[in-house]
Structure 1
Amino acid sequence: MRRIFRPAHHAPDQLPAPVLLLLCLCLGALPARAATPTQPFRVGPPAAWVEPLPVPTDSGPSPTGDEETSLSVLLLEEQVRVSGNSRVHYRHSARKVLSPEGVERASDITFHFDPTHEQLTVHGIWRLREGRREDLFKPAEARVIQQERELQQRLYNGTLSVVPFLHDVRVGDTLEIAYTVEGANPVFGGRFSDVASIGYSVPVAHWAYRLLWPDGRPLFARDFGRPGLTHSERRHDGVHELRWEKRHVPATHAEDNVPGWEPVFSWLQLTEYKDWNDVARWASALFQVPPRSKALEQELRRLSQEPTQEARFLSALRFVQDEVRYLGIELGPNSHQPHPPDEVLQRRFGDCKDKSLLLVALLRGLGIDAQPALVNTQHARLLDGWRPSATAFDHAIVHATVAGRELWVDPTLTLERGGLDSYQPPPYARALIVSPDTQGLATIPPPTLQGPSTFVDETYVAPDRDGAATLDVVTTRTGVAANGMRRTLARTSLSELSRYFLNYYAKVDAKISVARPLTVEDDPAKNVLVVREHYRIEKFWSDDGRRDFDAHMLREYLSEPGISHRTFPLAVDHPVFVRHRITLQSGTPLHVTSHRDLVEGPAFQLEADTRSDGRTLVLDYRYRSVADAVPPERISEHVKSLHQSEGARGYYVQLGGREERPFVLPKNYNRNVLFLLALMVFCGFLWFVIVQGGPVELWRKARARTRRRAFSRKFEPVHQGDSAAAAIPITGPRELLSTLGRLRCACGASGEAPQESLRQEPIVLGERQLTLVQWPCPTCARARRAYFEDTGSRAA
């Protein structure tokens, strides 16, 4: 995930350590000790304007009956003072430790600040035990590190982290933390915006936010929360004082796969920007295209040799995508302001905003109308309900008009091919075009799929029952899937890729071997990439003449949610259109009846066609998503359709016995008795058929039951990492990355995914602190996810 523009709100599924706890009730009026070269932070009391709230002695009853077992959050408080271009932010909170696990959670504390424009003052970390209050913060023992939390995304911002080490924290203690961060990024020109998280994964006894604002200066606020938030205002000495408070804030329980556009946690938004035009004018001052340099002119001359405007656009886009690598240096104002195109061109690296401005400069030099555009990769259309803010975005792309066609392109993607007719817009839904004339958010058309983006065609040839069989696999990818596979091929050898695929099929057929080397056919003009595999299977039929087939590539899209009784919608990969065809050419007659199954649910449609001419069996499966989410009230319907799909996406073939023997009756058997028994059986069967709705309906039910029984045992149990309940234990971020490289996709591939494609989301389930990682498979471009639980180190 490219986090350049800081999002206005990260839903806090756990209490962030920097927001951790403070109170300054008994601090003396000692002057703050200034920062030293070896100690780039101060220690001292808060400013005189701060009015610390008392720490509640008891968390009180939870309105929803939620009780925290490891620690109790007593107080979360923020106080902000804005004067001119200056900003001072005071934070204070308190937790009571209830268990040994709570000792670890409460003691993991880190203060983050940007030394280029912020000054950190630590007021103290106090332990309350048996009525005594003692300051545990020892400045000499604190460590200052440059943690670079976005290093995995190839972003360097220079943020420093102060890590204190607390002595003697026990069950029953209450810990408070108080600190102040003074300063604001000059890139905003003194304009104010802030967010305050109200909802958390644990109940909070007392939450408060206080703002001291210059009287007469415009301010806009919006509450995205539950009822019960109180608001008060007063004016004194030219200051407008605003307060928001809430007591006994209930816990918000996290659920798996909630869409980014669905607000989960309550929060308060404050902004000085009156409308989106105000934000667009601010951004326009940052994204200025400078006069052409010699290097830029040289590149423009090369691009101008293309015969058409479309060809010139594609050449410029692919130059920026493929020849300028992704790397962000975001120190100070460059957190939001791009580096000049000449500098990016000379370095041949840049982040999303750098590459976007370079592309805009090239396109305008070619006579193509283009503007940078800011997007939020997580919240998408949720921006419709936000107050305008400069911190509402986390990514930059480009909006262009080419030969009368409106295009949205992402310069950070690589190896995209195909013409403009087949180009799909990125799935960001909303964008702010960087132009002084912009009046509101623009709608990015959702991507669509007219045909399957991935088509897996497997052909088995089994001439006889005991001999070897062959398997030929042809996988055709188009569009985004072809681009993803092309990126994989750029960093993976064909021999390594072949080994991945072989081991995937070896899970079913242990005696499988490569018959001919894997080949790749790439048509960049049409953006179609074809991979061909050839195998030999020594033991194809089981001893009793049975063979199971199933559309394995559909498993990823037809898995059940981890939580079925939901409050929030369930996100579904969309748009998805994939096809899996299995062909069996048998030397032994096959007794198969052609039929068609159709399973439709709130989020998908699955078609399964079975055809046979006696010796050739064709199983043809098509999966198409129809929505990007399932609302909570339709989850049971969605789960039911998933269960129905189990019988529809698999089939088994049973060959006849090696020696067919006729059925012979004993010679002395009474034929009259046989006739009466046969008549009774026939009448009973006829009655049963009528009750079941007729012979056709009975046949359908029997077939479905048989296939469900045969294939229900084939569906794998939840693998480690597939759900929160089966999270993969790790001991730190480094192990997380190495573990990702060993996880195997449904296509059979494993290997480390590019770091820029990883999306990490912290999740708290009770006392468990998890990380959900989402990324596209480097081989087949399928969306993947895995849950991890840090059982060793704790992220502060």
Structure 2
Amino acid sequence: MNTKTMINTYKLLFANILGFFVITSFSASAQVIESNSFQYEIDETPAWVEVRAKRSYEVDAGFGINYQLLDSQFLVQGDVRQSYRRTVHTISSEQGLQDGARLEVSFSPDFQNLIFHDITLTRNGQEQSIIQSADIRLIQPESELNMGLITGQVTALVLLSDVRVGDQIDYSFTIDGVNTIFGDKAFTGYTTTWQVPVNDSYITVLSDQKMQYRMENTPGEIQVKQMDSGLTRYDWTYQDVPEVAGEDNYPYWHNPYGFIEFTSYQSWAEVVNWATELFPYSDELSPQIHAKNQEWLDSSENKKDYINKVIEFAQNDIRYLGLELGQNSHKPHSPIEVFDRRFGDCKDKALLIAALLQDAGIEAHAALISTNQRKKLLDVLPSPGQFNHVVTRFIYDGKEYWIDGTKSFQLTDLDNKSINNFQYGLLIKDDETSLVPVTPPTQHARDVTLNERFDYSDKTSDVKVQIDIVYTGAEAERMREYIASAGMKVFQSELYNYYLRTYPTLVEESDLTKSDSYVDNRLTFSSTYLMPNPFISTEETIVFPLYGTNVSSYVELPAVKERKMPMALYEGFTSEHNIDIKLPFSIGWELEDKDLTIEDKGISYQRNIVAEPSAISVSHKYATKSDHIAADDTKEHIANIRDIRDALYYSVAVPNKSNSVSKSLQQRLREALGKN
């Protein structure tokens, strides 16, 4: 991660943390500034904040920005929630100048105030306050709009003029306020290590509530002290925090960076109690909803058929749009409102599905999910902030089902509807006290298979090529959604250009066709092509590429090879590439290394070759067995990936009108593909 990425990640994390925090006035002397219909304040640092002293810092030109002091302080006292932040950094390069002279702070004006305290520039040992001259603009970027979410967050964009390499920027602000959806409880969290070092780092929490805390990958200790004010003070202080070497492609749930979290929730049962007030399953549904539900029941062959109709209605007839404003950041809109306006987000859809199924006498509840932490939820402290998604769990015929209302085109049998590998969730159900496993349907699969058939048996004509690509399970659902968005013509063009990379003389003979089997959740695309017959030529040797290109798309080497972190895998996934060739005469095959198996704890690969007198077939099959490779096993795994990628570029050379065949010309073909 470069310096710019680190800065953006840090800002995003801090913006998310601040999302926990009722507007209170700081002082009568506060200066209020309007900008684009929003406002911020300039005022003195709150009295409760401890202002830390800077020390003399050496500048390391190896980093574009030197972070010298990071100070986070959080006050929980009665209804007050105030989060103070101070950052001191020195710009040490031209690249750092691009990022370090622009500051960004995000907040939610519906329930938060932003108060700047000061911005100080130090040049050649001379300090100057530039808060009054700074160009501060409040904008509402709605950065998640492309994902169907409207959050109402506002960003204060601070543009500093006449900033130079070597300047030190010292700025501080407070976010004052809390989203009342969280009630009396409080929780927060802070990153403690990054891919850049930090000279002085401070975290302080002052609270009149009993706080649990947890440290992860963080040096030092937390000091706890009872204050005369009745508050409890939690302090973490550390000097010369080392950088963390970045690695790519690690699992969602693996956090390589230091983190400290605080929460006044003492158990998952307390989180459930908070959530059950937001999901009123027992609320009376409208006559229109009752009528529609009864219509589905009356027109269904059985309860299973009815359940499918409810799910398909919520997934496909209720468009995804989240108005994450105020309390609706976590509180779903009523099923009546969602049913009438025909749009909603994950929690709206989850509650609607549960309410409809309960209305039909089926046990159903919404469940809180973390799309990134997944099984890491077993290690973290309880709070609503651990979750970012909601799904529905219901019981039918004694069996547990999990349904994601935000998926679409799951037009298949109930047992074949996929659910992402969320691993654990928290049921919003009375008397629930712990996390529960999220179990996929028993018949669930995700598979992509490419079948190619070449008939060279007629030496006097062009070759007819039949290519089928089959998507199963979650892959079929993904492709249905993509085709609905992009269209068949676009996909046909993409496929054709993909095939041309291996078969550059391929010519389209017909339009791409689609066959969709909803019963087993299988989607097949078929296409026919023509290709010049190589046996018409005078070449003495004809090379047939039997590449597993479909598999190679999913078998990639990580950027970082020597690893201390686990590697992510797409669990439960299978990719196959099968190639069948018919020849115009018999061959006395002399193949080496026909069959091959490569396997470790996370993956398996098989290459099988069947050679008959006038035909040859090659099958490449890759499958994952886990969601990750442990750090200690990555060396073996990366070696296996290299071997698999070599094995995928298998080929045979057929001497024209001869009765023998050479072994794989793998090296020659890899050179032609630029693989060396």
- TM-score, length basis structure 1: 0.78
Match of 2:271 in 1: 279
Check 1:415–1:615 CA distance in 2 against 1; reply closer, same or farther (3 A cut): same
Report the 3-state secondary structure (helix = DSSP H, G, I; strand = E; otherwise coil) of the residue aligned with 1:485. helix
1:32 pairs with one of 30, 50, 54: 30
Segment of structure 1 superposing worse, 71-80 or 639-648: 639-648
Alpha-carbon distance in structure 1 between the residues aligned to 2:519 and 2:429: 33
Match of 2:403 in 1: 409
Alignment of 1:303 with 2:302, yes or no, is no
Paired residue type of 2:260: L
Alignment of 1:567 with 2:576, yes or no, is no
Alignment of 1:99 with 2:98, yes or no, is no
Check 1:658–1:370 CA distance in 2 against 1; reply closer, same or farther (3 A cut): closer
Residues 230 and 246 in structure 1, CA contact (< 8 A), matched pair in contact too? no
Report the 3-state secondary structure (helix = DSSP H, G, I; strand = E; otherwise coil) of the residue aligned with 1:535. strand
Check 1:494–1:243 CA distance in 2 against 1; reply closer, same or farther (3 A cut): closer
Alpha-carbon distance in structure 2 between the residues aligned to 1:584 and 1:659: 17
Within 5 Å, which residues of 2 pair with 1:183-198?
A: 183-198=177-192
Alpha-carbon distance in structure 1 between the residues aligned to 2:567 and 2:296: 45
Segment of structure 1 superposing worse, 370-379 or 635-644: 635-644
Residues 468 and 525 in structure 2, CA contact (< 8 A), matched pair in contact too? yes
Distance apart, 1:212 and its partner CA = 1.7
Residues 134 and 161 in structure 2, CA contact (< 8 A), matched pair in contact too? no
Match of 1:15 in 2: 10
Residues 151-198 of structure 1, C-alpha deviations (whole Å, 9 max, x = no match): 121110111111122111111111011001100000001210000111
Aligned residues: 652
Residues 588 and 655 in structure 1, CA contact (< 8 A), matched pair in contact too? no
Within 5 Å, which residues of 2 pair with 1:215-226?
A: 217-226=209-218
Distance apart, 1:149 and its partner CA = 2.1
Paired residue type of 1:115: P
Match of 1:231 in 2: 223
Distance apart, 1:11 and its partner CA = 10
Alpha-carbon distance in structure 1 between the residues aligned to 2:531 and 2:158: 61
Alpha-carbon distance in structure 1 between the residues aligned to 2:414 and 2:42: 59
Alpha-carbon distance in structure 1 between the residues aligned to 2:106 and 2:373: 25
Distance apart, 1:643 and its partner CA = 2.4
1:133 pairs with one of 127, 130, 144: 127
Distance apart, 1:422 and its partner CA = 2.9
Within 5 Å, which residues of 2 pair with 1:528-547?
A: 528-538=522-532, 540=534, 543=539, 544-547=541-544
Check 1:18–1:588 CA distance in 2 against 1; reply closer, same or farther (3 A cut): closer
Alpha-carbon distance in structure 1 between the residues aligned to 2:331 and 2:150: 14
Match of 2:18 in 1: none
Within 5 Å, which residues of 2 pair with 1:149-188?
A: 149-188=143-182
Within 5 Å, which residues of 2 pair with 1:571-720?
A: 571-593=568-590, 595-657=594-656, 706-713=664-671
Alpha-carbon distance in structure 1 between the residues aligned to 2:489 and 2:459: 32
Paired residue type of 2:372: Q
Alpha-carbon distance in structure 2 between the residues aligned to 1:130 and 1:18: 32
2:438 pairs with one of 435, 441, 444: 444
Report the 3-state secondary structure (helix = DSSP H, G, I; strand = E; otherwise coil) of the residue aligned with 2:386. coil
1:294 pairs with one of 245, 265, 287: 287
Report the 3-state secondary structure (helix = DSSP H, G, I; strand = E; otherwise coil) of the residue aligned with 2:650. strand
Match of 2:23 in 1: none
Check 1:70–1:447 CA distance in 2 against 1; reply closer, same or farther (3 A cut): farther
Distance apart, 1:619 and its partner CA = 0.7
Match of 1:471 in 2: 465
Paired residue type of 1:545: I
Which 4+ runs in 1 deviate beyond 4 A? 10-14, 17-20, 35-39, 446-452, 464-467, 539-542, 657-660, 714-718
Report the 3-state secondary structure (helix = DSSP H, G, I; strand = E; otherwise coil) of the residue aligned with 1:635. helix
Alignment of 1:390 with 2:384, yes or no, is yes
Residues 44 and 122 in structure 1, CA contact (< 8 A), matched pair in contact too? yes
Match of 2:19 in 1: none
Check 1:271–1:190 CA distance in 2 against 1; reply closer, same or farther (3 A cut): same
More RCO (CA 8 Å, sep 6+): 1
Paired residue type of 2:671: R
Alpha-carbon distance in structure 1 between the residues aligned to 2:206 and 2:245: 33
Paired residue type of 2:278: L
Paired residue type of 2:319: R
Match of 1:267 in 2: 259
Alignment of 1:252 with 2:249, yes or no, is no
1:208 pairs with one of 184, 202, 206: 202
Alpha-carbon distance in structure 1 between the residues aligned to 2:133 and 2:123: 22
1:519 pairs with one of 510, 513, 518: 513
Check 1:456–1:405 CA distance in 2 against 1; reply closer, same or farther (3 A cut): same
Residues 146 and 161 in structure 1, CA contact (< 8 A), matched pair in contact too? yes
Paired residue type of 2:652: V
Distance apart, 1:68 and its partner CA = 4.1
Distance apart, 1:708 and its partner CA = 4.0
Residues 75-114 of structure 1, C-alpha deviations (whole Å, 9 max, x = no match): 0001111111220111001001111111122112112111
Alpha-carbon distance in structure 1 between the residues aligned to 2:586 and 2:102: 68
Alpha-carbon distance in structure 2 between the residues aligned to 1:545 and 1:317: 54
Distance apart, 1:13 and its partner CA = 8.0
Distance apart, 1:332 and its partner CA = 0.5
Distance apart, 1:569 and its partner CA = 0.5
Paired residue type of 1:308: N
Check 1:287–1:12 CA distance in 2 against 1; reply closer, same or farther (3 A cut): farther
Report the 3-state secondary structure (helix = DSSP H, G, I; strand = E; otherwise coil) of the residue aligned with 2:251. coil
Alpha-carbon distance in structure 1 between the residues aligned to 2:572 and 2:45: 52
Alpha-carbon distance in structure 2 between the residues aligned to 1:218 and 1:643: 53
Residues 27-66 of structure 1, C-alpha deviations (whole Å, 9 max, x = no match): xx99321355755111111111211111232159xxxxx9
| Larger-Rg structure | 1
Instruction: Return 5+ residue gaps in structure 2 as ranges.
Output: 16-26
Distance apart, 1:515 and its partner CA = 1.8
Match of 2:553 in 1: 556
Check 1:158–1:588 CA distance in 2 against 1; reply closer, same or farther (3 A cut): same
Alpha-carbon distance in structure 2 between the residues aligned to 1:497 and 1:17: 35
Alpha-carbon distance in structure 2 between the residues aligned to 1:593 and 1:245: 70
Alpha-carbon distance in structure 1 between the residues aligned to 2:616 and 2:428: 57
Match of 1:459 in 2: 453
Alpha-carbon distance in structure 2 between the residues aligned to 1:293 and 1:47: 50
Alpha-carbon distance in structure 1 between the residues aligned to 2:433 and 2:509: 61
Paired residue type of 1:635: T
Alpha-carbon distance in structure 1 between the residues aligned to 2:243 and 2:276: 41
Task: Supply the RMSD in Å over aligned alpha carbons.
Answer: 2.6
Check 1:128–1:448 CA distance in 2 against 1; reply closer, same or farther (3 A cut): farther
Alpha-carbon distance in structure 2 between the residues aligned to 1:454 and 1:205: 50
Report the 3-state secondary structure (helix = DSSP H, G, I; strand = E; otherwise coil) of the residue aligned with 2:10. coil
Check 1:554–1:18 CA distance in 2 against 1; reply closer, same or farther (3 A cut): closer
Alpha-carbon distance in structure 2 between the residues aligned to 1:151 and 1:341: 23
Residues 550 and 649 in structure 1, CA contact (< 8 A), matched pair in contact too? yes
Check 1:428–1:715 CA distance in 2 against 1; reply closer, same or farther (3 A cut): farther
Distance apart, 1:587 and its partner CA = 0.7
Instruction: Return 5+ residue gaps in structure 1 as ranges.
Output: 1-9, 21-28, 61-65, 661-698, 719-796
Residues 459 and 533 in structure 2, CA contact (< 8 A), matched pair in contact too? no
Residues 12 and 200 in structure 1, CA contact (< 8 A), matched pair in contact too? no
Distance apart, 1:280 and its partner CA = 0.5
Report the 3-state secondary structure (helix = DSSP H, G, I; strand = E; otherwise coil) of the residue aligned with 1:218. coil
Match of 1:55 in 2: 54
Check 1:711–1:356 CA distance in 2 against 1; reply closer, same or farther (3 A cut): same
Paired residue type of 1:422: N
Residues 429 and 446 in structure 1, CA contact (< 8 A), matched pair in contact too? no
Paired residue type of 2:565: F
Alpha-carbon distance in structure 1 between the residues aligned to 2:477 and 2:383: 34
Distance apart, 1:630 and its partner CA = 1.6
1:317 pairs with one of 305, 311, 316: 311
Report the 3-state secondary structure (helix = DSSP H, G, I; strand = E; otherwise coil) of the residue aligned with 2:655. coil
